[in-house]
Amino acid sequence: MSRLLSIAGAALLLAGPALAQGPSKYDTGASDGEIKIGQSIPYSGPASAFGVVGRTMRAWFKMLNESGGINGRKIELTSLDNGFQPPKALEASRRLVESIGVFAEVGTVGTPPNVATRTYLNSKGVPQLFVASGASKMDDPQKFRWTVPWYTHFDFEAVTYAKYLAENKPEARIAILYQNDDFGRDYLAGFRKALGRKAQSIAGEASFDLTDPTVDSQIIALKGSGADTLVFFGTPKFAGQTLHKVADLGWAPVRIVCSPGSSIDGALKPAGLDISTGVLTSQLVKDPDDKTFAEDPDVRDYLAFMKTWAPNESPRDSNAIAAYLVGQVFQYVIQKAGNNLTRENVLRQATTLQGVRLKMLLPGVTLNNSPAGYTAFRQYQMSRFDGSSWKPFGPIYNAE
């Protein structure tokens, strides 16, 4: 058990954060004994597959608290349901700030919820840290200095797919299915821009709304376009529907699914693991089912954590790994802030990450950001699903 309790601390201390010394300084929600943080997660609604993020983060902080907290302070996490609905997310943020008195909001899931709450949180000077959204508009330090994105830019990731196709299938006839919101449209815009003149190879595009019951009609139309490559930009539920319908139609295009939609449990298993074999995505993290990493210390620690602290969650769910990473980076930032737990100082630590390596990131992938650009992920590697796990292959792509 002692090894499990030290998983995070040992990993992050390797990165060498210098702990601030001197008298303690606190803002609302922080004290000698605890730090109150909050978030809102779609535990219900069409994006409920992301509920694992909140549950895994609660498990992470429970582990930390039982091992003494961060710099001796317990982390009190309040995680509320936003149903992936902007009004509910705003209501949750108001409750967190005005009733509970959180120091910061950390790890809130979804582009629509985070867009809906950022003006309010910024007006209150409350850090909106490591938000699970890759929309380019979430990285805007000039207008929203308290909002720090966690995911890579969706349009950055889309560049990886364009580069891969240009190198490996230059004559592809491409069909695109995208979610009709900021999430999907960012992917679409980045992909089209990266294709450049090859955008003329797009044979068809279709969109869907989160309220749609299925995407069957869109898939039928895209198959009729004559495309031999299908690119999907959306959330896990609809990724699973897409893969299943493609197979049902007897269509056999090259299939690319964006990373947020690539969850094995949330998308590939519902579609059918056999059906999903050969699907491509991009990755930043190690797949715990990949035999290549069977003896990898990161993977062993992650699996031990999940078994002990989140036994009801699937460790193969990429969203669980994402939450595990958020827990680590928050711990890193708070450790580095030391006794200066003002919101200004924590924001400074969160936006000056340089060469930070967290457990479960692929070799060569580190976190790097600055006050001019908060996004910390800028590197990707293509991966192929082999029927049981994701297998990284090829070069590390830099999106810039």
The 10s digit of each residue's pLDDT in 86-104 is 999 999 999 999 999 999 9
Average pLDDT for 272-290: 93
Summary mean pLDDT of the chain? 92
Write down the pLDDT at residue 2.
Answer: 45
Q: Regarding predicted confidence, which is higher, 349 or 392?
A: 349
**Residue 213 phi/psi, 5° resolution?**
-70, -35
- In sequence order, the 6+-apart residues with CB closer than 8 A to the CB of 200 are none
Amino acid at 356: V
The pLDDT > 70 percentage for the chain reads 94
Q: Please indicate whether residue 231 or residue 15 has the higher confidence score (pLDDT).
A: 231
pLDDT winner (highest mean) among 74-83, 176-185, 188-197, 259-268: 74-83
Average pLDDT over residues 291-308: 95
Q: Report domain extents, the chain.
A: 2-152+290-369, 156-283+381-398
pLDDT at 363: 87
CATH of 2-152+290-369, one of 3.30.365.10, 3.40.50.2300, 3.40.50.10740, 3.40.50.1000: 3.40.50.2300
CATH code for residues 156-283+381-398 = 3.40.50.2300
Parallel, antiparallel, or unpaired for β 202-208 and 174-179? parallel
- Model-level pTM? 0.78
The pair of three-digit structure tokens given for residue 369, joined into one six-digit string: 């950001």
- What's the pLDDT band for 300 if we cut at 50, 70, 90? very high
Is residue 377 scored above 90 in pLDDT? no
User: Residue 3 pLDDT more than 90?
Assistant: no
Residue 400: what pLDDT? Answer: 64
In which residue are the tokens 């790097």 written?
368
Q: Could you count the other beta carbons within 10 Å of the beta carbon of residue 249? A: 14
Tens digit of each residue's pLDDT (9 = 90 or more) over 14-38: 444 444 456 899 999 999 999 999 9
Distance, in Å, from the CA atom of 210 to the CA atom of 112, rounded to the nearest integer, reads: 11
Per-residue pLDDT reduced to its tens digit, 233-256: 999 999 999 999 999 999 999 999
Could you tell me the CA-to-CA distances from 258 to 157, 207, 396 in Å, in that order?
A: 8, 15, 16
pLDDT over 60 at 4, yes or no: no
Q: What is the 3-state secondary structure (H, E, C) of the chain?
A: CHHHHCHHHHHHHCCCCCCCCCCCEECCCECCCEEEEEEEECCCCCCHHHHHHHHHHHHHHHHHHHCCCECCEEEEEEEEECCCCHHHHHHHHHHHHHHHCCCEEECCECHHHHHHHHHHHHHHCCCEEEEECCCHHHCCCCCCCCEEECCCCHHHHHHHHHHHHHHHCCCCCEEEEEECCHHHHHHHHHHHHHHHHHHHHEEEEEEECCCCCCCHHHHHHHHCCCCCEEEEECCHHHHHHHHHHHHHCCCCCEEEECHHHCCHHHHHHHHCHHHHCCCEEEECECCCCCHHHCCCHHHHHHHHHHHHHCCCCCCCCHHHHHHHHHHHHHHHHHHHHCCEECHHHHHHHHCCCEEECCCCECCCCCEECECCECCCCCEEEEEEECCCCEEEEEEEEECC
How large is the average pLDDT for residues 280-287?
A: 92
State pLDDT tens for residues 328-372: 999 999 999 999 999 999 999 999 999 999 999 998 888 999 999
104-142 pLDDT, tens digit per residue, is 999 999 889 999 999 999 999 999 999 988 788 899 999
User: What six digits make up the tokens of 276?
Assistant: 């999903």
For 144-154, the pLDDT digits (tens) are 999 999 877 78
